[in-house]
Structure 1
Amino acid sequence: MSTLMMKLLFAFLWINFLTACATSPTGRTQLVFMPDTEVNSMGLQAFDTLKREKQISHDAVSNRFVSCVASAITREVGGEWEVVVFKDQSLNAFALPGGKIGVHTGLLNLVDNQDQLAVIIGHEVGHVMARHSNERLSQQVGTNLGISLVQAVAAPQSTLGQTAIGLLGIGAQYGIIMPYSRLQESEADMIGLDLMAKAGFNPSESVKLWQKMEQASQDAPIEFLSTHPSHASRIQNLQAYLPKAQQLQKQANIAGKNPHCTK
């Protein structure tokens, strides 16, 4: 290969490396290859599939409660978000690229108040804000195969479809689990705590919520914890972060952000 060709190849690779670099909301450097438009398209398709295949709850009280909490959280992010309550007794919730949030009725039975639900929704929206799905897709497959996965989401029972949905973060119900890394989980915890606090919710309830989740998991496996790995230091990390989050809540309350979402 000529020197000129080598220089051109190096320049091409360097440009691709630079354009793939991104920074998460916490300042962490990420390597992402997938166009956000494609990842958002995957999220939209996956959510449409879920709405067709899963039973949707039309209970007015539950929907009002979830919408109230989700609206307060997403108002801090911006954009339009669709929120659906699924009639499913598993303790689970998720958020997808493209502005989609799903909450299972089983989780609503577990939480005591608006603040505990805000912990979960904030955490899931945190994954979206940090582009964790994009990051995982990029790490696993790269752009060419990733774009083919967009169509695969429409066939979730196929091997490729299961892989795609698993990477988006909702694959357990399709027989495949692709958990977020501990780093991504910790990042979503911190982003979620900031979001709920900025919305005026009480971040100290995060500790109580995870304690309840851990207690519930002793009786039976929890899908949420299996697809979102929990580790011993999670509560400790949240407690260490609470002073900052509580200050954000105080500022939010002074600014008139005082959610009143009744379960």
Structure 2
Amino acid sequence: MSMKTFIALVLLVALSGCATARRERMVWRVKDVVLAESPVVNFGGAGDTVMASIPTRLLQELMLAHLRISRSAGITAELLLTDGDDPNAFAGMLSDRPVIGINLGMVKLIGENINEYAALLGHEAAHWAKGHIDATRLRRSTLEVIGTVVSAGLGAGGVLGAGTLAGLGLSMIDASYSRDQEREADAAGIDYVVANNYDPTGAVTLFEKMIQQAKGPRVPFLASHPSDQERLENIKALIDAKKSLAGAPAP
């Protein structure tokens, strides 16, 4: 039976300004996770709890897409995965460095469609690249890390390595962008996707998935972004315009 790598970077966080409201937040640096030697990475916390199992190949493709799109956007941001069941993605700061985060709920929603991941990464990268984010937009309820633990293991207890990190601060951006900023991020994000030879229709299929999901469980990503049919049609029009410029027939 093949061994599955289990890697967890646990961030214990407290909501600033609310001393009694503490919760555990789990965050994984994708650049570390892609080094797994096994075909599947199990994401979980203490004990044997597994919240998600993701193919190592997909994580490597996700990291490559992030590096390519970040280069096109002219930004330097670290890519994180976080826990959470409701599909979401965010921009934030970790130890005063820009980050882009995708939670496990969004990973489950997207599955293995790398073009949809590219669209998501392009959109978030565009918010950084276009100056939509600055330090003054950090929430007052900043997530403050009060302790971190890194653990890695093979199978049931085979330890690859362990250590502790301290003093990291994770801040999430208040994603109350204007409609003009969202349009600009959509357009620039599609530019980054096309420039790196990903299929821009991934933006359409991802948006349709999120709209469908929003009919049931909450989708925080849509709650903080304009999510009407008009925006979906605008995305389709942007893609058609790109295809027309490239000489390709519109679908």
Q: Which residue of 2 aligns with 1:92?
A: 88
Q: Do the aligned partners of 2:75 and 2:125 also contact (CA within 8 Å) in 1? A: no
Greater fraction of residues in helix: 1
**Pairwise CA distance, 1:52:** 4.6
Report runs of 4+ in structure 1 exceeding 6 Å deviation.
149-152, 247-251
* TM-score between the two structures when normalised by the length of structure 1: 0.57
Q: In 2, Cα distance between the equivalents of 1:190 and 1:224?
A: 18
Greater fraction of residues in strand: 2
Superimposed CA distance per residue, residues 6-57 of structure 1 (whole angstroms, 9 cap, x where no aligned partner): xxxxxxxxxxxxxxxxxxxxxxxxxxxxxxxxxxxxxxxxxxxx95532134
**Pairwise CA distance, 1:127:** 0.8
2:235 aligns with one of 234, 238, 241? 238
Superimposed CA distance per residue, residues 83-110 of structure 1 (whole angstroms, 9 cap, x where no aligned partner): 1111322211123374311111211111
Count of matched residue positions in the alignment of Structure 1 and Structure 2: 176
2:177 aligns with one of 174, 177, 180? 180
The code of the aligned residue for 1:132 comes to H
The code of the aligned residue for 1:104 comes to N
Q: Which residue of 1 aligns with 2:17?
A: none
> Alpha carbons of 1:103 and 1:51: their partners in 2 closer, same or farther (altered >3 Å)?
farther
Q: Do the aligned partners of 2:73 and 2:126 also contact (CA within 8 Å) in 1? A: no
The code of the aligned residue for 1:91 comes to P
1:221 aligns with one of 208, 218, 225? 218
The 5 Å alignment of 1:15-94 reads 51-53=11-13, 54-57=25-28, 58=33, 59=41, 60-61=56-57, 63-94=59-90
> Alpha carbons of 1:212 and 1:116: their partners in 2 closer, same or farther (altered >3 Å)?
same
Superimposed CA distance per residue, residues 215-263 of structure 1 (whole angstroms, 9 cap, x where no aligned partner): 0110122111112231220111111111343368899xxxxxxxxxxxx
The 5 Å alignment of 1:46-195 reads 51-53=11-13, 54-57=25-28, 58=33, 59=41, 60-61=56-57, 63-96=59-92, 98-111=97-110, 112-134=112-134, 137=136, 153=142, 168-169=173-174, 179-195=176-192
Q: In 2, Cα distance between the equivalents of 1:239 and 1:91?
A: 22
Q: Secondary structure at the match of 1:220?
A: coil
> Alpha carbons of 1:121 and 1:249: their partners in 2 closer, same or farther (altered >3 Å)?
farther
Q: Secondary structure at the match of 2:67?
A: helix
Moved more, 66-75 or 93-102: 93-102
Q: In 2, Cα distance between the equivalents of 1:189 and 1:51?
A: 31
Q: Do the aligned partners of 1:204 and 1:242 also contact (CA within 8 Å) in 2? A: yes
The code of the aligned residue for 2:218 comes to P
Q: Secondary structure at the match of 2:81?
A: strand
Q: Secondary structure at the match of 1:202?
A: coil
> Alpha carbons of 1:240 and 1:79: their partners in 2 closer, same or farther (altered >3 Å)?
closer
Q: Which residue of 2 aligns with 1:205?
A: 202
* TM-score between the two structures when normalised by the length of structure 2: 0.59
The code of the aligned residue for 2:87 comes to L
**Can you give the 5+ residue segments of structure 1 that lack an aligned partner in the other structure?**
1-49, 141-148, 157-164, 170-177, 252-263
**Pairwise CA distance, 1:183:** 1.7
> Alpha carbons of 1:106 and 1:150: their partners in 2 closer, same or farther (altered >3 Å)?
closer
